[in-house]
Structures are given as structure tokens and as C-alpha cells.
Amino acid sequence: MSSNASLNVLVIVASTRPGRLGPAIADWFVQATAPAGPADGTTLDIADLADIGLPLLDEPEHPSSGAYVHEHTRAWSRRVAAADAFVVVTPEYNYGMPAALKNALDFLYHEWAWKPVGFVSYGNTSAGTRSVQMAKQVVTTLKMMPIGATVALRIADSTHNGQVLQSAELDEAARRMLLELNRVASAMRSLRAEPDSDLTGTSGPVEGLRLTIAQPDDLAELLVLQRCCWVQEAIANDTLDLPPLRETLDDLRESMSTWQLWCVRRNGRLVAAVRARAHGSGWLIGRLMVAPDQAGNGIGSWLLAYAEQQAPEETAYYELFTGHRSTSNIKRYERAGYALTDGDGISADSVRLTKERQPATCVR
């Protein structure tokens, strides 16, 4: 992504209490920065936590898994993932930030990473600056970058009847902050081009491989890879009516809430992927794919073995499906220990293969 591409800045209104000043201050910030915004391709989107209405963190899985059960989390995830930078409009409550802001941050993990954040604070004696200091400890743990420029409003001096008073100095401070935020956001885009962390801990069958949890930024490239990889399947089974070929970007994004997805990059290029989830007492492995020009060097077998290793302890067997005419796939899975198995709900065009999970051995 080029450094001069458009930037999406999410302005988060942190307070949810009745009578709050947050929405008025957020509106002022958007209006004050308008001369520095649309002209350079920057868009500002206000996210009011009172309207979003997130409950107290209620996801059963850790946010770093990206496996979200609830639609309110998925909606929040999509909105945060789409942003390149953030402006947090926050008051100070008892020397700290609002609980609603901490809760909104805690709901997600990867969506925040490698993005800058600026703060517009407001309050009485300290103009909300102690809230900002507390928030900075949290956002840096989420791999966000607080910028140096801030805007701090003392309520008695800067507001009247619930509105921000006209002030050329405050307007200029807001514009300077947005310009700095844009500059840092553009520089940090290259950090987001690479996934967050290595997961394998071991080297792959060829050099340059990097296995990571799939991120929202991976999905467009993953969809292209998927369609390339299923061309041979379509030919072998004499049909284009295959789920991987029908899947849309929205479908793929939705799958992140019910599947664990992993991507493999080789020297930065997406070359393989797989997904898995619990299915009764089984561990269902799906969408195992390797780029056609990378096939034959062991990446698929290595990735399959990795997906098996991620099964929860209670898993009794591994399970996967492929086309009934996909003889090369069937043979490959049989070499990996899978066997053709009958089961309910299998379409006429598919076959099911399973493999019993071996109990872990204890070395003394």
C-alpha cells in the first residue's frame, strides 16, 4: 500500500454517561480539521461507544485468537480493522480513563496493532491528561503508537453550554495533531504489511516461510489464492460449483468468527493457507491450499501437520473433505494417514477422510 493512499481515521468517543461532552468535542474536532482532511485523502469516522453499546467483555476466546462468537464483536472488529489511525476523545474519571474505553480496547487485539493514536482529552483541573497517561499504557501494549501531539481542553475555559468555544488556537492544535497522525500512519503501513508474529517455532520445508494467524488485511489476497488453487479442483470434478470458488470477501471475513485461519508467506508473498475448527469430537481441517507454483515442495504436508497440532486436547480424530474425483488430493491425504470414511451430510460430489488422533507419548 503506498504511503500517499487515503487514510481512514476512527474518532472514538470514549464517554458513555448521560450529559457527556464527548460527542460535541468529537464533532468540533472533525470540523476543525476539515481543511487538513479531505484535501489530502483523509476521512474521519466517528465511533461513539454509547451508540455502539459493547457489553462488558463477553467473548469466550482470547481476543488474540480472532475467534469472535458475538456479532457486536465482529462489527467492532470490522470497524477498527478498517481504520489506519485513531483519535480518542476522552474525559478523566478519578485520575483514569472511562471503563467503556478500556472495555472497547480489550475486546480486540490484532485490529489495533501497528496503528497510531492521538488523544483529545477534556476535564477540569488536569484537562483530562491523567486519563491519557493511563490510556497510553494500554494502547502501547496493543502495539499502537501514541503520537506526541495532543489536544487538552479545560472544560471551564474551552466549553460553554455543552459546545466547544470558537478558538483559532484550539483549531490549529487539532489540525497539527491530525497532520502528525497522518504522517505516522503512512509510515506505519509497512509494519502492517507483515503479519504480527511467527507461530511455527520451527523452520518449514523451504526457506523464507512465515506461518501466522490470518489477519483482516490478508483476506483479499487469500481470496485470490483460494480461487487460483481451486482451478485444478474445478477441472478434476468437472464443475465450477465449488464452495471455495463461490466464496466472497464478506464470506471469508465472516468465516474468521467460526474458524481458525493460518496463512503462510514466503518472502512476503502469500503462498499457502489452511483453516480448522472443532466439529463434535473431531477437528475439521479445511481450505488447505498451496499456490500452484509452490506445490511439490512439502508446504502442504507441513501445513497439514501444523493444523493437526492445533487441535484441542479432547479431539478424538481429524476430519477433512475433498472432491470425489480429486484423486491426487485423496492419495496425498491417504499418505498422511487419512482414510475414506462414510458419514452423514456428505454431498454426492465430496468424500470424507478421517484420521484417528494418536495419544501423546510421555517421555521420562
Residue 3 pLDDT: 45
DSSP collapsed to 3 states, 296-348: CCCHHHHHHHHHHHCCCCCCCEEEEEEECCCHHHHHHHHHCCCEECCCCCCCC
Count CB neighbours of 140 within 10 A. Answer: 12
Cell of 308: 493437526
CATH number for region 209-356: 3.40.630.30
Residue 40 pLDDT: 66
Sign of CA dihedral 133, 134, 140, 144: negative
Query: How far apart are the C-alpha atoms of 215 and 219, rounded to whole Å?
Result: 7
Collapsing DSSP to helix, strand or coil, 84 comes out as: coil
Count CB neighbours of 39 within 10 A. Answer: 8
Residue 41 pLDDT: 75
Residue 275 pLDDT: 93
Cβ-contact 272, 303 below 8 angstroms: yes
**Fold match flag (7-191 vs 209-356):** no
Query: How far apart are the C-alpha atoms of 248 and 102, rounded to whole Å?
Result: 34
Residue 17 pLDDT: 94
Residue 206 pLDDT: 87
Q: What is the pTM of this model?
A: 0.59
Question: At 319, which amino acid appears?
Answer: E
Residue 363 pLDDT: 36
Secondary structure element (H or E) that encloses residue 12, with its range? strand 7-13
Q: Which CATH architecture has domain 7-191?
A: 3-Layer(aba) Sandwich (3.40)
Q: What is the pLDDT along the chain (364 residues), one digit of tens a residue?
A: 344 557 899 999 999 999 999 999 999 999 999 865 555 678 999 999 999 999 999 998 888 777 778 889 989 988 998 899 999 999 999 999 999 999 999 999 989 999 999 999 999 989 999 999 999 999 999 999 999 989 999 999 999 999 999 999 999 999 999 999 999 999 998 787 655 444 554 568 888 888 888 888 888 899 999 888 888 777 876 777 777 888 888 888 888 888 999 999 987 889 999 999 998 899 999 999 999 999 888 999 999 999 998 888 889 999 999 887 788 889 989 999 999 998 766 777 788 999 999 865 433 3
Residue 203 pLDDT: 62
Instruction: Enumerate the domain spans of the chain.
Output: 7-191, 209-356
Residue 350 pLDDT: 82
